[in-house]
Amino acid sequence: MFNLSLNDIHIGATAPNKQNAIELVAAALTEAGYVKNGYVQGMLEREHQAPTFLGNGIAIPHGTTDTRAQVLNTGFAVFQFPQGIDWGDGQTAYIVIGIAAQSDEHLALLRQLTHVISDENIAQAMAKAGSAEELKSLLMGDNQVQPLKFDDSTVILNTNVDNMNALKLQNIVNLQNIQVISTDFITRVLTEAPIYLGQGVWLSDSVVGNIHSAIALSTVKHQFSYQDKPVKILITISYANNQVDTFLSIISQLLQHKKIDDLLKIDNVNNLISLFSGQPDESESAERGITEEFIVRNPHGLHTRPSTLLVSTIKKFESTITVSNLDAAATPVNGRSLMKMVSLGAKCGHRLRIHAEGTDAQEAISAIGAAINAGLGEEIA
């Protein structure tokens, strides 16, 4: 985790344009002892090479590799511009974070930022924050919404129970073990009848006691009856926010197309979770498209400039393209999103898995591989 001092956060700043905003940020970096006076020229040059707008009202200006010698200590200067700064291409920056880094230390900051600002509500809250303390809390993710909990700790397949109460208790225990529900939730679910959705699927939830969003799901080994209706699946939902909406939409589609029995044939927990989370099964996805791995050769990893060039290369093709960092969290990200690309935190030597599906998939993979191997506009290691 990167360090961020309250002294480095500036609330309610104003500037007439992007250049003045960058100069203001550079002056703060200089005054704080992070950089020498010449670093501002590198920040302005970087904008000519590749704009540093990250997304959701956030820009991260920083120097070029040629001005790295101007960096005295790794540090940051965070400026809030409530009126916004025109960052070009119709993009408005409300939070501008100047970065001074001697090598790749800033990748931790970039990765943290992408996880935080991918939530538009948090980005808007940062633009309206009334104090340095509030803005720091938002940037550091102190108020970040917990991700939806739905994994092998909350799913049980082919459980050997023969009554609804035992099934409800099983789901409740799984939710209680991950600390996403309160005793009020437990009481309500145990005392109220679940809702029948059809085709053997039942749903239980509570209007109280939802601490974090989570889904517990159990399928039964032997079908039994409850209220004269078949029981094949019980879903118990802790509904703290709208993160469960995708899950509920997929359930609705499965019911509409009478696919529940097909669902019950799945005997692998991870495949079932992938289906409900809207993510394709990896083996099926690989069969549909082309997948290749490439090594990041950039000395300072996929920081903003090489990430921008990689995204630009991907956007030239019609195929759906995802990118995974096999040496970090290997969850695939949308290759067309600069924010997601930077969030991979890919350092020199890390392995990128590129997956492309579409009519020009092979052409896309070839071009992407060539761009990565050529250094994405930088001298390679």
Active site amino acids: 62, 303
Distances (CA, A) of 17 to 45, 90, 238: 16, 13, 46
- Segment (H or E) for 286: helix 282-288
Residue 307 and residue 300 in contact, taking contact as beta carbons nearer than 8 Å: no
**Cα separation, 47 vs 99, whole angstroms:** 13
Distance in angstroms between the alpha carbons of the first and the last residue of the chain? 26
Q: Alpha-carbon dihedral of residues 330, 378, 109, 50, nearest 10 degrees?
A: -110
DSSP state at residue 189: H
Rounded to whole angstroms, the Cα distance separating 104 from 194 reads 52
Sheet holding 201-205, edge to edge: 155-159, 214-226, 229-238, 201-205, 195-198
